[in-house]
Amino acid sequence: MADTVETDPEFPIPYLGRSVRIVGPVVNVDMNQSPHPKNQRGELGKALFNWYHNSVSKDPLTRVSAPNHFADRRNFIATVINQATTGKVNAKRVPVSDAVAMTRHIKAVARYMGADVVAIARAHPTFMYAGSRYIQDGTAEDAYEKSTPEGLVRKFPYIIVATTAWDYDKLQAHRHFIGDAAYHVSQIKGHMILKALEGYIKELGYTALRGVVTPQAAAVASGVGELGRNGLIINKTYGARIHMPDPILTDLPLVSDEPVDIGVEDFCKICRKCAVNCPTNSITFGDKVAFNGVEKYKINWLTCYKLRPYVHDEWTSCLTCATVCPFTKPNTWWRSLAVWALHTCPIPARPLLVRALKAIDDRFWGVVSQKRVRWLDYDTGIKPGERACTVAGCTAAHEADGQSAKVVGDIGYYVPLKENTNRFVKRDG
């Protein structure tokens, strides 16, 4: 098993950049012990169980884009995509004589299919999930289901990370159905791209396994980004607004990318903006800890997750820690310049630069971003429950009497962060 990896010359400890370090034996993570499967089994309490299984969203966009809040499962396209029967590998394999050219090609294909970020990691046993594979369609034969992490890596040495970013302007309406839509619709695109890419690799005659690799490990190893204090991968172009979908493990001959240094490690030591704003106090103000052999900032996923049933009427996904992160900015020249400056600045001098950039960020974006956003039939200037829309004939939920809305200036109406915490603590007990 992978807890002997430190002494195994076949699998030397991988370098994961400056934000994450393997410092001891790593026990492979069992996907069945992650939040969603635990909740599906009712192990996280009644409120979360009911929220996950029995709550149809008031918002029609949420119903078709966020997992498990539909009136009919078949209207949710991610179910259709992910539960489709897995295809077979084409017996006529396309020979690959130039791994560099194939890497260039597969990245171009992924981008053409719609991926915003594509990178390749060299597989390592510690990146693999433990236990039996998570086969979503429940019908496919899986010859590799019983393979050990080491066995999988020997046979399939590469991981393809292909993902999407969600829209910056709509993200400003986080803790609102607008932010939810930006997040969930881009997530659906990610599902479609990965399914298409998986099929493409199989049609070339190579295996493409899903449900095998932990996405965050692959993301830092491949240089998609660094791991922040907020527990999110922070990318040099999009900051924290990228998804971490299920990567592809493959035997297609490729060349791996390297971890990156964009200054997240230095920024997080000083910034703490995500921890200040987290409505459930799930993000640490302290130092990194060693958890399961990995040194990183450890967020409390349980308290983060437990908030959800109590905000269901107004929004679905919190996203506060992604939105407030100074790296999450529109993709403009001044943002590229700031990241370039961090990247090229000698490490001992970075704290000074970080303090200057953080001061600029606080000055122009405030402690927490609150901006009025109008999109489709939604308007964050209106308190949820009074009227969710301003357009005649809209489909968004609103009061039956259509009472006139109180518009809250240019800031928009956002449920106060501490109000979120209070609801959660009081009702959960």
Residues that bind ligand SF4 (CB under 6 A): 228-230, 267-268, 271-274, 278-280, 282-283, 299, 304, 307, 318, 320-321, 324-327
Rounded distance, CA 183 to CA 62, Å?
Answer: 10
What's the min distance (Å) between Cβ of 277 and ligand SF4? 6
What's the min distance (Å) between Cβ of 88 and ligand SF4? 39
CA distances from 120 to 19, 204, 288, 325, 339 (A): 18, 18, 26, 25, 22
Distance of CA 262 to the CA centre of its chain: 19
Nearer of residues 152 and 283 to ligand SF4, judged by Cβ: 283
What's the min distance (Å) between Cβ of 38 and ligand SF4? 16
What's the min distance (Å) between Cβ of 281 and ligand SF4? 8
What's the min distance (Å) between Cβ of 301 and ligand SF4? 8
What's the min distance (Å) between Cβ of 361 and ligand SF4? 9
Nearer of residues 279 and 293 to ligand SF4, judged by Cβ: 279
Which H helix or E strand runs over 161? strand 158-163
What's the min distance (Å) between Cβ of 125 and ligand SF4? 28
Output b/e per residue, 293-317; b: 16+ Cβ within 10 A.
Answer: bbbbbbbeeebbbbbbbbbbebbbb
**Which residues on neighbouring strands pair with residue 234, listed in sequence order?**
226
Nearer of residues 192 and 276 to ligand SF4, judged by Cβ: 276
Neighbour count for residue 237 (Cβ, 10 Å): 17
Nearer of residues 219 and 283 to ligand SF4, judged by Cβ: 283
Nearer of residues 129 and 310 to ligand SF4, judged by Cβ: 310
Phi, psi at residue 407, to the nearest 5°?
A: -85, 135
Nearer of residues 350 and 387 to ligand SF4, judged by Cβ: 350
Per 3-state DSSP, what percentage of the chain is helix, strand, and coil (rounded to 5)? Answer: 40, 10, 50
Nearer of residues 148 and 281 to ligand SF4, judged by Cβ: 281
DSSP-derived 3-state class of residue 279: coil
